Chain A
Amino acid sequence: MKVIKGIAVSPGIAIADAIVLDSGEIRIPRRRITEAIVREEQDKVRSAFASAVLELRNFQNSPDVHEKNVRDIFASHKAFLKDRVLRKRINERVRNELVTAEYAISSVMRELAEYFSSLKDVYIRQRASDIYSLERRVLKYLIDAVQQDIQTVSKDTVIVAHDLTPSQTVSLNREFVKGFATDVGGRTSHTAIVARALGIPAVVALEHITDFAEPGVTVIIDGNRGYAIVDPDEKTLLEYRGLAKDMKRLKKQFAALKDKEAVTRDGVKITILGNIELPDEAELVLKNGGEGIGLYRTEFLYLKDGREPSVQDQLRAYKEVSRIMGSRPVVIRTMDLGADKVVLGGEEFTHEHNPVLGFKSIRFCLENMDMFKNQLRAILLASGCGTISVMIPMVTNLYEVRQTKMLLRDVMEDLAEEGISYNSDIKFGAMIETPSAAIMSDRLCRNVDFVSIGTNDLIQYTLAVDRANERVATLYNPGDPAVLRLLRLSVDNVLAAGCGLSVCGEMASDPEFIFFLLGIGVRTLSIAPAMIPEIKKVILSVSIEECRRLAEEARDMCFPAQVSNHFRAAAMKILPETY
């Protein structure tokens, strides 16, 4: 059994046998096989080499290839692939070390490439790159074969992958894929987005799970707490089976609440909205009883194909969400790119020492004015239908807000000149997710119609903790008194200014912190669609009076543990069934 901690990106528990996907570009994990399938793996080696040789022969004989030296290169590559010593070495590795065909090929060829790069002779040293290209050429055949598996699965499966590309994810068989686990990724990785859209449990950023999970081994995905458990022991398996059953039962209970209003015991109406990334997810929000979209993240449009989407592409997506939501509110957040969400000419970001403190979000938008204006145009074009508003991410100063408003007006003028109609009253909002925005929230509010407090980033920036850095991740704590103070300050300012307010981020879907948020005056929450029923249940079980008292009691606490214990004790009393 191996327990690996990652980032939970889509809640729920999945228990099934794994299909393991390799990443062709990066690295092939060392996976062990049993003695019984050595032959099978060696056959795979042979057929992959044969396919690659055939491909090279076709290149070589292609009428398009006129130059002799190009044909010679193909000829030498072919000679290399037909080399019996090379093949023998790979087959021996499969047999002696009991590893997969793809691992044996990759490791032998890479050793060879490394050997060549260590040689003195410059001509031979350069052959290393030939070997790498040959490695890819051969592996392609093996990896394609595995990838076809995921489209044709016919039993419950958990997908374990280094990462999934958009084309892989759209081809997944949704009926049988019960969960995802990946080596890399963040909340906005493709896997995460798709998993949430489908309501499938997923954990990402597991680092080396592809090294540990062999095809066919049982894997538990705990999308609530962010664990993947490979080859669980009997006790763990039983535990999780019980948990999964409980969750199923609770889900049923929660589903019954769908059409019930989210009103506290003392009659205060709380608005529950959903956070989405894909238009498809809007359906899920409605299905779970959400009353609108509080945060429509638009990054995926840009990440999907690695290039800027056309205004038409964007318009189509925004209109689709708007159509699904009807007259309910939809808050479109402009692209939050940069740092971990690198695309478009992304080279320059990757070299930043501190990408989360660097060129990202609204900073990126304001530097890529044409791109930003295209997005604002698409949002305005969609604004005629439904109730669409626009919101900007990661504000740190008022210049950013004013500059964006100017741009928005520019785009409006353009549209007016072209005689195109749009909603000139479109509401404009900003995220509070940096301490500077929180501290300046009284002034920020005078410049916008509404704000949404993004707790994930606000916690990260307030506590100076990069959540992805495991050495400090434990310092990331929503219950830190500094976080609570900053939240209270922001909420007080926003309410005093009469500005619209919502909270999006994980705190809004954690029962313990809901007490706090409701207690300090928050009345609108925007959360992951799958969490809506549970949060509704919490709201129906509390009174604002209790929440206020609990928040007040936490006011002078100095340590995160005190805060956590305080709210957990309350939660256990109010919601005994979920604890």
Chain B
Amino acid sequence: MAEVREIHLELKNEDGLHMRPATLFTELATRFRSKIEVSHKDFVADGKSIMHILMLGAGPGAKLKITASGEDAEDAINAIHDLVAVKMFDLSQEQQ
């Protein structure tokens, strides 16, 4: 039975979803079987495609809506929350 989970997140890291965080994001997303979509403004990206994620053009402070649908949707959303809200923020601290 497919579940759908949704989360709204604000990008706190300094550079937004540029190459390195986008790589991390897609690496994480691919680990889940659920379909993961990231929306920013009008654009909806496939969360497993680095090309799509970069095409969001999500800079610092961007408000993202992330939807996971599939049997591991809950785990996916939790992991993504952890990555975007905590690890990616750490990443930009690390770069300071």
With an 8 Å Cβ cutoff, the count of chain B residues facing the other chain is 21
- Given A83-B51, A84-B49: A73 in contact with B57 (beta carbons within 8 A): no
B59, A79: Cβ atoms closer than 8 Å = no
A72, B23: Cβ atoms closer than 8 Å = yes
- The reply to whether the CB of B55 lies closer than 8 angstroms to some CB of chain A is yes
With a 10 A CB-CB cut-off, give which of A75, A79, A83, A119 has the most chain B CB atoms.
Answer: A79
B23, A121: Cβ atoms closer than 8 Å = no
- The reply to whether the CB of B54 lies closer than 8 angstroms to some CB of chain A is yes
B48, A84: Cβ atoms closer than 8 Å = yes
- The reply to whether the CB of A112 lies closer than 8 angstroms to some CB of chain B is yes
List residues of A (439-488) whose CB comes within 8 Å of B's CBs. none
B59, A124: Cβ atoms closer than 8 Å = yes
Selected from B23, B51, B59, the residue in CB contact (under 8 A) with A85 is B51
A80, B57: Cβ atoms closer than 8 Å = no
Q: Which of B1-9, B13-21, B31-39, B72-80 contacts A (4 or more CB under 8 A)?
A: B13-21
A86, B54: Cβ atoms closer than 8 Å = no
- The reply to whether the CB of A399 lies closer than 8 angstroms to some CB of chain B is no
> A120 to B18, alpha carbons, bound, how many Å?
12
A76, B50: Cβ atoms closer than 8 Å = yes
> A85 to B55, alpha carbons, bound, how many Å?
12
Q: How far is the CB of B93 from chain A (nearest CB, A)?
A: 15
Q: How far is the CB of B25 from chain A (nearest CB, A)?
A: 10
- The reply to whether the CB of B10 lies closer than 8 angstroms to some CB of chain A is no
A80, B50: Cβ atoms closer than 8 Å = yes
- Residues from chain A with a CB closer than 8 A to the CB of B26 are 79, 83
> A305 to B74, alpha carbons, bound, how many Å?
61
Smallest CB gap from B27: residue in A: A79
Q: Is the interface on chain A under 10, 10 to 19, 20 to 34, or 35 or more residues?
A: 20 to 34
As a 0/1 sequence over residues 84 to 126 of chain A, the CB contacts with chain B under 8 angstroms (1 = contact) are: 1110000000000000000000000000100110011101100
- Given A83-B51, A86-B51, A116-B54: A123 in contact with B27 (beta carbons within 8 A): no
A76, B55: Cβ atoms closer than 8 Å = no
- Residues from chain A with a CB closer than 8 A to the CB of B57 are 119-121, 124
- The reply to whether the CB of B71 lies closer than 8 angstroms to some CB of chain A is no
- Residues from chain A with a CB closer than 8 A to the CB of B55 are 112, 115-116
- Given A79-B27, A121-B59: A127 in contact with B49 (beta carbons within 8 A): no
- Given A75-B23, A76-B23: A124 in contact with B50 (beta carbons within 8 A): no
- Residues from chain A with a CB closer than 8 A to the CB of B23 are 72, 75-76, 79
- Given A75-B23, A120-B57: A112 in contact with B18 (beta carbons within 8 A): no
- Residues from chain A with a CB closer than 8 A to the CB of B17 are 124
Smallest CB gap from B95: residue in A: A69
Smallest CB gap from A88: residue in B: B49
Q: How far is the CB of A108 from chain B (nearest CB, A)?
A: 10
- Residues from chain B with a CB closer than 8 A to the CB of A119 are 57
- The reply to whether the CB of B52 lies closer than 8 angstroms to some CB of chain A is yes
- The reply to whether the CB of A266 lies closer than 8 angstroms to some CB of chain B is no
Smallest CB gap from B23: residue in A: A76
A-B residue pairs in contact (CB < 8 Å), sample of 5? A79-B23, A83-B51, A86-B51, A120-B57, A121-B18
By a beta-carbon cutoff of 8 Å, the part of chain A in contact with chain B is 72-73, 75-76, 79-80, 83-86, 112, 115-116, 119-121, 123-124, 127, 130
By a beta-carbon cutoff of 8 Å, the part of chain B in contact with chain A is 15-20, 22-23, 26-27, 46, 48-52, 54-55, 57-59
